[in-house]
Amino acid sequence: MPETPRMLWHYTCDHGAAGIQREGIIRPNLHPLLGVPVAWFTDLDPAHRFEIGLTSDRLACDRMAHRFATADRLVWWPLAARSLRVPAPVRAELETGRLPAHWWVSLTEVAITGGGDG
């Protein structure tokens, strides 16, 4: 397991950013494939849109319009996927061709420490 990077980013669209800026926290959203609320984070910069998994093929929004930083301790996605018993086909749909080793998640609210601009 890699050491958790000092800075992890949560990317979101204009709609998501408004609530985060207002409340100062990132709330997990129900994930349709996982069946639980999840907040996603990565150590990758915006040049890695596809590898992060934030292509907007299903939504009209630019899901990388804003990014927020957190210093909270998060769970490395490959470990979270195992403890959530995510079925292999679901993992394949989420991960294939991307860089899931650069993903972290939280199932609870996360405090932001900065960011908000694109």
Q: Which of 4, 5, 13, 116 binds Zn ion (CB under 5 A)?
A: 13
- Answer for which of 7, 15, 21, 33 binds Zn ion (CB under 5 A) is 15
67-77 residues labelled b (16+ CB within 10 A) or e (exposed): bbebebebbbb
Cβ-based nearer residue to Zn ion, 25 or 61: 61
Interface region with Zn ion, contact rule CB under 5 A, candidates 9-17, 33-41, 48-56, 66-74: 9-17
23-61 core/surface letters (b: 16 or more CB in 10 A; e: else): eebbebeebeebeeebbbbbbbeeebbebbbbeeeeeee
Query: Which residue reads 């996605």 in tokens?
Result: 77
Least distance from Zn ion to the Cβ atom of residue 92, Å: 26
Q: H or E segment at 41?
A: strand 37-42
Q: Does 90 bind Zn ion (CB under 5 A)?
A: no
Q: Which two tokens stand for residue 117?
A: 């601009």
Residues in the chain: 118
Site for Zn ion in 39-78 (CB under 5 A): 61
Shortest separation between residue 96's beta carbon and Zn ion, angstroms? 25
**Nearer to Zn ion among residue 64 and residue 105 (C-beta):** 64
Q: Smallest distance from the beta carbon of 91 to Zn ion, in angstroms?
A: 25
| Contact set with Zn ion (CB under 5 A) | 13, 15, 61
